[in-house]
Amino acid sequence: MSETKENKLGTMPVGKLLISMAVPMMLSFFIQALYNIVDSMFVAKISENALTAVSLAFPMQQIMNAIGIGTGVGISASIPRAIARKDSDRADALANTGIFLCACYAVVFILLGLFFTRTFYTMQTDVTEIVESGTVYLSIVWIVSAGAFFGNLFEKMLTSTGNAAQAMLAMAGGAVFNIIFDPLLIFGIGPFPEMGIAGAALATVMGQVFAAVIAVIFNIRRNRWVHFNLPKILHPRLSAVKEIYSVGFPSMITIGLSSMSSFVINQVLLQYSTTATAVFGIWLKLQNFCYMPAFGMNNGMVPILSYNYGTRRFDRVWQTLKYALTVIVSLMIVLTIVFECIPDVLLRMFSASEALMSIGLIALRCAVLSLVFGGATVILTSAMQALSHARFTLIINILRGFVLPAGSFFLLSVLFGNLNRLWIAIPLADAIACIIAVSLYRVMRRDLDNA
């Protein structure tokens, strides 16, 4: 077997390696974010209440994503370390344990989808259309969550072993599937029934399942670094679980806290109007789209950092991080300029009413100022995870994911009681988090250089 050969993560020139690993993932994440935006665009054509229902569902979808992404990040950092040590048995144990964990999570969310969704909506609003449509949407997303969990896991297995192009094809395939079927199922085009908001949810989960199937096939046929075995899946290793979450837990906390933060912020905004929550939901989708290059860069960067950290090649580690930061900060500056120039165009994409446009123009112009700070923080915290400083990532993620944004919205609401001033909370929270991230990065760099 060729597992004893040196992986390209330790041999290819850093610039070329990062391009080959990160660019496919950046493109696939862009496409994935695009279908989230397209999903909301079509839902907005049903009604503003339908868009509000999807916006209120977003924090709960993010809890599911937090678990899946946290597990995937742990896999993408742990497997390269095992490969660097020529420990194929450990790499297999990590992969098979990840499959077991995702199966358990899928069962949990099936139960949540069956019994919890209506309660979630009635806790927040008494608008019948929002409650009914939201219950339908979130129930489908949760009950058919297996595609999201397994798709994320198997895509990370491909990326962590140097097969980023195959991971891109899997993610892009699921996204294109969703984009095609969204209008067909929502509006009943051709032979398809008109399903409204249920069609949007069904197109989403079908796209996730499609992507997962493609990723599984690629792993079985193309990934020579890990091997799947049913007895190993049914008998997971506790040590593998610990290793996965020693790296992945901060990411899980980040997204989980972000979902809690979004929930709290929605409660603050609901005091002003349901339209304000719809605007916030639009921003979250646009923000997600803007951050996808950073997430894609992370997916390409983390295996490189982990592998070269495992072989103690710190020159390659710092060079990789420098390139990643330069690309993402530059891209975020461009996106900020573009979004500042066309907020009205962005809002019209979501069939904005006059009230939504009035609130949204001010909101978007404030919110986009956060992108440069947020992009840099995403790269730095991911580097800390990959370089055995996950505790620093955890600190930043708790602050950035919940304490700073939720606290800023609540405090500004108490101080000013003016909806237009609340949106300053978004760039304020990210700027503070970025300052803290840079400070902790300097501490980490000193630790590693003196080790």
d(CA 204, CA 152): 14
Residue 1 forms part of a structural domain: no
Residue 2 forms part of a structural domain: no
Residue 5 forms part of a structural domain: no
SS3 168: helix
pTM across the whole model? 0.75
Residue 343 forms part of a structural domain: yes
CA dihedral 15, 154, 36, 132 (to 10 degrees): -160
Residue 412 forms part of a structural domain: yes
Six-digit token string for 415: 């101080």
CA 117 to chain centre: 22
Q: Are 133 and 273 in contact (CB under 8 A)?
A: no
Q: State the pLDDT at residue 85.
A: 84
Q: What is the mean pLDDT of each run of 10 residues along the chain (451 residues)?
A: 55 80 77 75 88 87 86 86 86 93 96 93 90 95 94 88 82 88 93 93 94 94 88 91 85 80 92 92 90 85 83 86 93 96 93 92 97 95 86 89 94 95 96 96 88 66
Residue 202 forms part of a structural domain: yes
Owning domain of residue 62: 10-449
Question: pLDDT digits over 340-379, tens only?
Answer: 999 999 999 888 889 999 999 999 999 999 999 999 999 9
Domain count for the chain = 1
Q: State the pLDDT at residue 7.
A: 62
Residue 3 forms part of a structural domain: no
Residue 4 forms part of a structural domain: no
234: amino acid identity, one letter:
L
Q: State the pLDDT at residue 6.
A: 57
DSSP 8-class letter at 369 = G
Q: Which of 350, 388, 366, 375 is nearest to 434 (CA)?
A: 375
